[in-house]
Amino acid sequence: MGLKDWIAGKVAGPQSYGDVMGRQAREGGSALANMVFMSHGTGGKGGPTVIFDRSADMEAAGFAPRFQEITQIDLPSITLEEQILFKNLQTAMISYAYMVNSNGASQYMQRNNFSKFQKGLAPSLLQSMVHCGLYSKVEAAQTAVTPYLSSSDTAQLRMILNTEKPASSDLLEHFILRAVNLCQTKLSYGFARTGPTGFDVIVVPLAEDSLKSISGATRQFNW
């Protein structure tokens, strides 16, 4: 458990800890979104979104990779359609990071402490989305994440993350597909979980570190 976690628990309890984790979830979700975006390739018009095991498989299926290596994303230099996809993935992956934290807290914390944690987590996450410039107001951020959080209730998914095969029959896959659907584009998209720009290298540590932190704080402060 890190110093911020210790301070949050020592000073103000699970709600303050939720506030800390909300900011971290936004940061982690944004980093994950960058990798998912860099893993994408485009195909012809129409067709379903496909998440491939390898970037080579994506290319073999006729999708042209947008990036060949990990790089800094320069928003002014990408197309309007790419900007829409990028922003949707940012919202989707931040929402996903929120779900990782919320689900972890619900597993480890007592019910009343989980409720307090949520009261810190959600507002902090939304405020951080505004502070980083993704949205202009908290209300706009709330509206943007709602389609993801509400859809997670009806997704009928038993896994938040398939650690053996990320974005395969889990909530991560559901959120990526929903982000593309909300683009309302006529292009078909593919994503690669492994390869030079594969997103698996970041999503598994993100989930594991969040759960480890929540579990450690819960034990430390008997939440």
At 148-196, the pLDDT tens digits run 998 776 555 568 999 999 999 999 999 999 999 999 888 899 999 999 9
End-to-end CA distance of the chain: 14
Give the residue-averaged pLDDT of 48-58.
95
Asked whether residue 42 is domain-assigned, the answer is: yes
Q: Model pTM?
A: 0.92
Asked whether residue 3 is domain-assigned, the answer is: no
Asked whether residue 130 is domain-assigned, the answer is: yes
Number of domains comprising the chain: 1
pLDDT for the residue 1 = 47
Expressed as residue numbers, the domain containing 192 is 13-63+79-221
The answer to whether the CB of 220 falls within 8 A of the CB of 113 is no
Cβ-Cβ contacts under 8 Å for 91 (sequence gap 6 or more): 129, 134, 144, 145, 148, 179
Per-residue pLDDT tens over the stretch 4-21:
555 555 557 899 999 999
Per-residue pLDDT tens over the stretch 187-210:
899 999 999 999 999 999 999 999
Asked whether residue 7 is domain-assigned, the answer is: no
- Percent of the chain scored above 70 by pLDDT? 92
Asked whether residue 72 is domain-assigned, the answer is: no
